[in-house]
Structure 1
Amino acid sequence: MSSRLPAHGVPAASGLGRRLSRRRLLRHTMTGAGALLAAGPLAGCAVPAAASGASTLSVWDLFQGGDGMLMDDMIDAVSKGSKGSKGSEGFDIDRTILDWGPSYYTKLAMSAAGGRASDVAAMHLSRLAGYAPGGLVDAFDLDLLAEFGVTRKDFAPAVWERTQHDGTVYAIPLDVHPFIVFYDQEAAESAGLLDSSGELAPMGSPEALLDAGKALAEATGQAGILFGHVTDTAQNWRLFAGLYAQTGAEFTLPDGGPPEIDVDAAVRVVTFMQQLFDGRTNPNNLDYYGSVAGFTGGRGGMAMLGEWELPTLKESGIPLGAAPFPQVFDKPAVYTDSHSFVLPHQKDPDPARRREAHRYVAAILEQSLTWAGAGHIPAYRPVLAEPAYAALKPQSSYADAAKVAVLDPPNWFAGAGSNFQNRMCQPLQSALLGNTSAEKAVRQMVREADALLRQPNPVA
């Protein structure tokens, strides 16, 4: 299976080559979490912090393509210093970009375990539970961050809660990237789905979203709502997880099992997914790229996608609108993840370098209006309050998704790019394709979750 993911969901721009002289691009295809500690330190990992020079911060991330170029711009800005930020002197940054996927998280764990960690690294917040409990990342000093203008009040509580392990903060969010709906504004207006301000009106019930699909199909003369899930490792889970959270039920996976899953609520959600993607009003057999191509080609009035597809969709020239995923069950909830910063574990960190790492994270957060250009919601709320962000369309239309963010269960085996997401997606795919019932799909999901809970954490 393959899946298009927010770490590199924006096409590469033509200027990428000239920027590579400012950073090192390191690729490695090693996979398999079971090999994490047995393999030992990697000779190809980034130069240890102390070897880079006292004034140079080593930074690892997984941002390539358009996202990578935006991060270049942000690093360029903080490297020059900013009169508007606290600690306004610049930085000397040694940036290493690694391929997105299991290999990134394998190398991140190995570097921390082997004493070759960078000063700062990017991590999907949904993966933190596989690193903080095992001591692979170090805690942030909140007093030091506050000295540079960043406090816990600057983040949505729903996201901030997931930065912690045992009450200690191990990650600082850069963004929130939710699973949302994009829509053709002309088709939505014709279908009667917009409010007086021209935004997507609330749905409020499963029946309302089903009716919206029919109205959009009539407006376009083709399909209503497009959703690509076939052979995808994440899409079905994103849709299910957000809808399941809207029922108010908990998807809890306690260590050792058994899973604590509300089967009735899960069946209710899968049944609705089958009704929504009935193969008639809304296709049930699209892959990811087919759904994107169908929407940009005008063959559907709405698409359920991650916000990271915004640059691609804007290039199509369709009159584009966007909104948080509609609330159709009992409470608002939107499936999300978050690119965050962590401090990979160092056995004897230099206090001055750690101070600079904190200052760097704070400075990058202040630049996150640039990051919003790719569709990501800045996690740092002072940027959200800027008039320049309110002027970003359609980004500002779905910013409230951060307030009701729902991430993967906080387990070592879950999170972005994980086998957990893949194993949840397969029975859901069978249900949407009509090969199994909602009840059987949910039972299979419970069995898969139970099997994962019985596996030992390789980095515990």
Structure 2
Amino acid sequence: MIDTRINRRSVLAGGLAAAGMAALAGCTPAQSSQTTTLQFWHLLSGGDGVALQGLIDQVNASHSEFHVRPTVLAWGAPYYTKLSMAGAGGRAPELAVMHSSRVPGYVPGGLLDPWDLERLSALGVDESTFTEPVWSSSVVDGQLYSVALDAHPFIALYNTEICEEAGALDSDGRLLRPDNPEDFFEMCREIAGVTGAHGLSYGFIGDGMQMWRLFYTLYCQHGERMTFPEGGTVEVDEDAFIASLEFMHTLADGEITAERGTIDSAIAEFAAQRSGIHFTGVWELPAMQSAGVPVGATMIPPFFGEEAVYADSHSFVLPHQADPDEQAREYTYTVVADLLKNSLTWAEAGHIPAYLPITEKPEYAQLTPQSNYAAAADHLVYDPVAWFTGSGSNFVQQFGQIVGNPIVSGSGYEEALTRFRSYVNSLLAQPNPADPQGERS
């Protein structure tokens, strides 16, 4: 019997312990005085941290002329604050990981250096080796400022045994993908009849990021995209905004999903096999496999017509250095190319490798259920570009504060839209704090 007390913290505990062991295992003897040390900052812990350390170990084992020395910093605001300070002072590491959604806010202040396309191309990395959404997310003002390692979309995990009993699988044994809300709601109720609890696990209470991930997926399924023009006013479609909130309210009816579920309770419920579907990030897949769940995975169905998958990417950036060592920088390009070319193991953590030659390998096609949602890479939608958006930002938490009550109560949608517009417009009127030259007339 599976422990129903499982939650994200307990799931990650084993990964963190393994990360410590991997770090020890990755230690190498003292480097030669001729070896160049490359400082590499990132914010990945748990299973992701273990996987990345394995890739770094491979790179170090293949090169004697340089050694990558990773430093793991706390996820979220602490990481981005320290990275911006390092870039502003010109004393940054040779390489760092950022979420693609955060990169545009760092470029105007000169906190990042652009990638040299010719150098990358010589190493087999160019626009043709990424999907259009991934490549476009890396370009700011016509220059490439990040190189994506992956795409980590918001998807639907599903329990194959429960969903089969509920008649929710197609002839290939994959989850049905209704093209309208009503059919999906009915499917979830059929699944709830099998579990005796809920059809869907989706937690959002107190978590603006969770609300935003699902909301923006639904919003973009309407064929709409929000735009946040610098110094202007937010462009948002009223009908798509309200319809997305109404959908989220209907989910939380106590039968389809819990009325006041949190992300931890949703993870625990699906791991305990008391629901058939789980809306979550791809990073939860390994934990569910470890918990013994017979798990499949797919893109969230196109309820409102268009395939759209909210996502972000872990991407490599060159933090600004006032006087970069050109040899070290050359080695840094080699490191990134090597990490991309060995990223099949990264897919085991649930992420979609951004480097297309990896997803085209027969070995990737055999990796299930990861390969079953690889097509999501062609339908990714990232956060609206602005200095204040992106993973771990205050923006997503404030969004949760604005729409949380309407989602629970089923009323006040228009007021929420008015508050959202006002909030975003107030930010658009402010200068980018990362840009020392930024001013508003």
| Fold match (TM-score > 0.5) | yes
TM alignment of 1:25-424, pairs within 5 A = 55-81=36-62, 91-424=66-399
C-alpha distance in structure 2 between counterparts of 1:356 and 1:120, whole Å: 10
**Is residue 78–residue 90 contact of structure 1 (8 Å, CA) maintained in 2?**
no
Amino acid at match of 1:445: F
**Is residue 177–residue 307 contact of structure 1 (8 Å, CA) maintained in 2?**
yes
C-alpha distance in structure 2 between counterparts of 1:89 and 1:142, whole Å: 25
After superposition, the C-alpha distances for 1:117-146 in whole angstroms (9 at most, x for unaligned) are 111100000001111122111111111111
After superposition, the C-alpha distances for 1:278-313 in whole angstroms (9 at most, x for unaligned) are 233322210110001111112211111111111211
C-alpha distance in structure 2 between counterparts of 1:167 and 1:111, whole Å: 24
Gap change, CA 1:355 and 1:211, over 3 Å in 2: same
**Is residue 43–residue 72 contact of structure 2 (8 Å, CA) maintained in 1?**
yes
C-alpha distance in structure 2 between counterparts of 1:408 and 1:257, whole Å: 17
**Aligned CA-pair RMSD:** 2.1
Amino acid at match of 2:53: D
**Is residue 203–residue 264 contact of structure 2 (8 Å, CA) maintained in 1?**
yes
TM-score by length of 2: 0.91
Amino acid at match of 1:80: A
Shift of 1:200: 1.6
C-alpha distance in structure 2 between counterparts of 1:110 and 1:357, whole Å: 21
Amino acid at match of 1:16: A
Amino acid at match of 1:434: S
Shift of 1:10: 7.8
Which residue in 2 is equivalent to 1:438? Answer: 413
C-alpha distance in structure 1 between counterparts of 2:236 and 2:167, whole Å: 37
Which residue in 2 is equivalent to 1:17? Answer: 20
What SS class does the counterpart of residue 15 from structure 2 fall into?
Answer: coil
**Is residue 130–residue 411 contact of structure 1 (8 Å, CA) maintained in 2?**
yes
What SS class does the counterpart of residue 322 from structure 1 fall into?
Answer: strand
What SS class does the counterpart of residue 305 from structure 1 fall into?
Answer: strand
**Is residue 215–residue 224 contact of structure 1 (8 Å, CA) maintained in 2?**
yes
After superposition, the C-alpha distances for 1:175-230 in whole angstroms (9 at most, x for unaligned) are 10010011111121122222221112321112221122112112222211111000
C-alpha distance in structure 2 between counterparts of 1:297 and 1:458, whole Å: 45
TM-score by length of 1: 0.87
What SS class does the counterpart of residue 63 from structure 1 fall into?
Answer: coil
C-alpha distance in structure 1 between counterparts of 2:423 and 2:106, whole Å: 22
**Is residue 79–residue 90 contact of structure 1 (8 Å, CA) maintained in 2?**
no
Moved more, 410-419 or 277-286: 277-286
Number of residues of Structure 1 aligned to a counterpart in Structure 2: 423
What SS class does the counterpart of residue 91 from structure 2 fall into?
Answer: coil
Task: Report % sequence identity.
Answer: 42
C-alpha distance in structure 1 between counterparts of 2:34 and 2:337, whole Å: 21
**Is residue 10–residue 66 contact of structure 1 (8 Å, CA) maintained in 2?**
no
Shift of 1:428: 2.3
**Is residue 10–residue 67 contact of structure 1 (8 Å, CA) maintained in 2?**
no
Which residue in 1 is equivalent to 2:30? Answer: none
Gap regions ≥5 residues in structure 2: 1-6, 28-32, 436-441
Gap regions ≥5 residues in structure 1: 25-51, 82-87
